Structure 1
């Protein structure tokens, strides 16, 4: 039995000043780094996802041809190899064990829709390491954090969402997303309440 931290999409385009910047995104990047540095041996695995969209085409309709509806279609963001697709500089990438890329040519919200640098699915990579429990942090609460947490639950994992290490696009949808995660069996906890051995 192993425990993993899942860091969802802490990227420049999802933080302040980015193409789809979320208020509080930079604070999440800094907070996750401080949290991991304070508890260096708590997790058996740290996995982080990034949107990594193709530069050409609409990525399966994910990029809007005209005005985005911000539900199914979006402005261009996190284009592979661009500064916007990189991790926020406050996130210490030396603390990450496994990197996941998602959304290459298709819409993708959940970390579980991505693959590792070695081409393994996220779910397989976690299973290969015997992970049974995951804590979820990142951006955005009402989109990719929600999708990742719900997929983790669907994969049979025990899920905790660390509520002070996430940031959402909007207040009401974020609250609804957290309520949905809790209904599906996820725990909502502040980082200070996590017992660290």
Structure 2
């Protein structure tokens, strides 16, 4: 049995002051680093994703171009490849990350499982190769990318825990609903101190 920590999209554009900043994003970044430093032996591998959008197109309709964004399927431009907004929040200690995943390259992508690692693998392939059976999920946004990533981890046959104090969402109501949905689907929703 091997356990992975999956860090979803803790990027400047998704934290306070960013293009799509969520309340509590910076605290989540600091909390994840603290959690990893306090529990250095809990994880066999640490994996982190970043939205990494193509600046030269609408990324498969992901960006609102001719109308206002609906904030459900269309969004303002964010996490443009190579920009400060696409970088990890500075409170994430990137030295603790073993595998980096980029997603949303030319297409809408919410789940870390839709991206590719720096060496071109799909995440499920990397998890299989490492023998990862258990996944802890943390990051941003609870009600979108964390939800999609945890669902895909369950669908890939992993035991999933969502660390409830290390996620931040767009809205309190939809974030709470996302955590209820994940619990109903078989994920454990627990605080990191459990």
- TM-score between the two structures when normalised by the length of structure 1: 0.97
Q: Does the residue aligned with 1:191 lie in a helix, a strand or coil?
A: coil
Q: Does 1:111 align with 2:95?
A: no
Provide the residue aligned with 1:134 in structure 2: 135
Residue 35 of structure 1 pairs with residue 18 of structure 2: no
Distance (whole Å) between structure 2 residues aligned to residue 35 and residue 165 of structure 1: 9
1:18-50, Cα deviation, whole Å (9 max, x unpaired)? 000000000000000000001111100000000
For residues 132-163 of structure 1, what are the alpha-carbon distances to aligned partners after superposition, in whole Å with 9 as ceiling and x for unaligned? Answer: 00000000000000000000000000000000
1:152 counterpart SS class: helix
Alignment size in residue pairs: 193
1:52 aligns with 2:29: no
1:15 counterpart residue number? 15
- Aligned partners of 2:178 and 2:39: how far apart in 1? 27
Paired position in structure 1 for 2:186: 185
Alpha-carbon separation, structure 1, partners of 2:30 and 2:69: 30
Provide structure 2 residue ranges, at least 5 long, that are not aligned to the other structure: none
Partner of 2:148: 147
Distance 1:56 1:67 in 2: 19
CA RMSD between the two structures: 0.4
1:26 corresponds to which residue?
26
Find the aligned partners of 1:114 and 1:57 in 2 and give their Cα distance: 18
Structure 1 stretches of 4+ moved >2 Å: none
